[in-house]
Amino acid sequence: MNAKAETVIEESWIDVRDAAHMFGMTAGAIKNAILEKRFPVETYKLGKRHVIDRDVLKAFFDEKKAAGMRRIKEGPPPMKRARRQQRG
């Protein structure tokens, strides 16, 4: 093995700027949502950065996927029949 080979270590977190596209939001919109406590995923600060733990992010999207699969398996909700108006 080459003594100069570099070991690549993937961070356990992702910067919110890099995750913005996953939520269909801009980085600024995510930061505003975090500050207003309405962002759906737990974040933390790492220095000046807002970051999301990769395992937390994966769990969030896994739950969204599972919820979508449940809805598919259950089928659409039954449709309500419209009432006829009585003529008076």
pLDDT digits (tens, 9 = 90+) for 11-21: 899 999 999 99
Residue 5 — pLDDT band, cuts 50, 70, 90? Answer: low
AA letter at 9: I
Strands 44-46, 49-53: parallel, antiparallel or unpaired by DSSP?
A: antiparallel
pLDDT in tens, 42-53: 999 999 999 999
pLDDT of 55 higher than 80: yes
Question: Distance (Å, rounded) from C-alpha 81 to C-alpha 78?
Answer: 9
Please tell me whether the overall predicted TM-score, pTM, comes out greater than 0.75 for this model: no
Residue 59 three-state SS: helix
- The better pLDDT of the pair 76, 19 is held by 19
